[in-house]
Amino acid sequence: MATGFIYVVPSVGKDYRQPNLECVPTTFGGRIYFGPCKKPMRPRMSAGDYIFGISPSGRSPRRVVFAARVTEKMSFAEAYRRFPKLRGPVGPIHVQPARIPGPTFPESHYAHIPNANHADTWRSDIRTLELDSFFVCDREKECLGRWLGPAGPAVEGQILTFLKSCAVYGNAGLLSKTNSGANERTPVHYGNLFTGLHLETPAPRALLKLICKSKILAFPLVSGRSDSESVVVKETPRNRRSRTC
């Protein structure tokens, strides 16, 4: 049975788009790719599961900015080999096979790509074998597998009601069987926690149906500002800023 994973994408800007190719999820060549971050979520995800992203606070309304279905789950080593155009520093693949293996994982398998994302946190990001997970999603079609951005539905009405029925997870695992405290301003909610959370549902297709129903006739092809190499600005260590992508 497929599971749906719903989370807030902190790197999305006020225009509901990703600023560049290295931010996750990444849209490139008609697919969405999911790599670093979301440590409580990634070990639980498998091929066939669905991922839904919600825009962060700072602009109203909050929107569902993407919906995707996972087709492949692989190690970062395989992703590095198969997707050279997604390698850091401009892409989301932030590690490469280690030339001089270290004594323990992840240094036994990987080294950080110079100037790539997560320079200070890559070890914790893939600190275990189960976190060594990179995801490839279905090719885009209608409202699935594409960046919806400003065309994505607002988190309100039936979509908000659905989110309230989802279970809430965090670093400690299951936190609540329902997301009952959610509202239009805070659609993923648990007590005083507002970061590191995600929702899970056993009915992801029902959520997808609500998303498609709300905007399916109005979807333009929306760039996540990461699906074309021409829009990526290569950064140097001098002008590079730390981001959570």
Q: Kindly state the tokens that stand for 44.
A: 């639980």
Distance in angstroms (rounded) separating the CA atoms of residues 204 and 216:
17
| pLDDT bucket at 238, cuts 50 / 70 / 90 | very low
Q: What pLDDT score was predicted for residue 224?
A: 60
- pLDDT tens for 101-154 read 999 999 999 999 999 999 999 999 999 999 999 999 999 988 899 999 999 999
Placement of tokens 């997604």 in the chain: 86
Q: Where are the beta strands (DSSP E) in 92-195?
A: 95-97, 110-112, 134-139, 146-147, 167-170, 173-176
Given this model, what pLDDT does residue 215 score?
59
Strands 4-8 and 50-54: parallel
Please tell me the pTM assigned to this model: 0.90
Helix, strand, coil share (%) of the chain residues, nearest 5: 20, 25, 55
Q: Closest by alpha carbon to 105, among 137, 141, 130? A: 130
> Which of 21-25, 69-73, 100-104 has the largest mean confidence?
69-73
pLDDT tier, 59 (very low <50, low <70, confident <90, very high otherwise): confident
What CA–CA distance (Å, rounded) separates 79 from 234? 21
Token code pair at residue 209: 């149906």
Element (H, E) at 144: none
Mean pLDDT value across residues 230-243: 36
Which of these, 194, 245, 178, lies nearest to 33 by C-alpha position? 245
Nearest CA-CA partner of 37 in 60, 62, 7, 63: 7
- Provide the 3-class DSSP secondary structure of residue 214: helix
